Amino acid sequence: MHRNDRAGFTLIELTIVVTIIAMIAAVAIPTYVAARSSSNESAAIATLRHIATAQAQLVACSAIDSNANGGGEVGYFGELTGATPIRVFSAMGPALGGPLQRLDPDLLGVRFERIVSDGTDGVAMAGGYYFKMFLPDASPLPPVNGIGEDPLGGARSGTLPGATNSERLWACYAWPVSHGRTGHRAFFINQDGEVLATQNFPAQAGGSYSGVARVPAADAVFSQPSDISSRPATARSGLAAQDQLLWSRVGG
């Protein structure tokens, strides 16, 4: 007698298996994304603090002194990593250095060597977050506006930061490459060394900071328009930020 019992799954069994897998995925994927976002946010905070340390070291060693007054100046990512020439003093005043005039040893490492364009300025990407540096213009009195990095890294040849103001002012923002996937909150730090955060909700004024769709302006967190020399506006201070969002100190 010939038997035809081939092992296999029935359509009902396959449907049950697929349903179970879908249920597991529905629980596991959001949990994984949330865990990764939280990890990226913690890494972004740590990175901003590392950037603040690097800027302080750069000022202390006076590797950049484009007005030759003996005071060290802060730098862009391209300068801090040694990927682009630093600003130097010349007979005509502050200028971009030559190809060999680079920071050595660097102060940030390879993660920030690659600069990409956000459509206007250069930004660095690390751990699911974009980081954007603003250095001050040359205004002797407030308001002091922020100048973004060249899309290829370092200072723009035609728009150098103010040498004297760069001895004490800088601002850096961090926001998710993809809001909700690589992170939620946006962050800020400046020469004060205090990290500020905003919840960065999609429904907030102007939408969430995410990728290059919405990028923080130089004065986003500050209390005065177009003035990175003014006080950052925090919920505790009662001051209104220029982006109309609530910023709070991380850790308190």
Residue with tokens 């730090």: 189
Q: How many Cβ atoms are within 10 Å of 157's Cβ, its own excluded? A: 9
pLDDT mean over 154-177: 97
Detail the DSSP E strand segments found in the chain: 87-90, 93-96, 115-117, 122-126, 129-136, 146-148, 171-176, 186-190, 196-198, 248-249
Q: How much is the pLDDT for 9?
A: 65
* Range from 56-60, 106-110, 221-225 carrying the lowest mean pLDDT: 106-110
* Range from 12-16, 132-136, 244-248 carrying the lowest mean pLDDT: 12-16
Q: How much is the pLDDT for 111?
A: 85
pLDDT mean over 18-31: 59
Interacting residues of 233 by C-beta distance below 8 A, sequence separation 6+: 221, 222, 223, 239, 240, 241, 242, 247
Q: How much is the pLDDT for 32?
A: 47
pLDDT mean over 75-86: 97
pLDDT mean over 5-15: 66
Interacting residues of 13 by C-beta distance below 8 A, sequence separation 6+: none
- In this predicted model, which residue has the larger pLDDT, 235 or 127? 127
pLDDT mean over 189-212: 95
Q: Which helix (H) or strand (E) holds 27?
A: helix 11-61
Flag whether pLDDT at 34 surpasses 90: no
Flag whether pLDDT at 28 surpasses 70: no
Q: How much is the pLDDT for 3?
A: 53
Answer for the pair 63, 72: CB distance below 8 angstroms, yes or no. Answer: yes
Rounded distance between C-alpha atoms, residue 111 and residue 125, angstroms: 8
pTM of the model: 0.86
Rounded distance between C-alpha atoms, residue 204 and residue 53, angstroms: 32
How many angstroms separate the first and last alpha carbons of the chain? 81
- In this predicted model, which residue has the larger pLDDT, 236 or 246? 246
For the chain, give the percent of residues with pLDDT over 70: 88
- In this predicted model, which residue has the larger pLDDT, 111 or 119? 119
Rounded distance between C-alpha atoms, residue 16 and residue 186, angstroms: 42
Mean pLDDT value across the chain: 90
Answer for the pair 79, 90: CB distance below 8 angstroms, yes or no. Answer: no
For the chain, give the percent of residues with pLDDT over 90: 78
How confident is the model over 36-48, as pLDDT tens digits?
Answer: 778 999 999 999 9
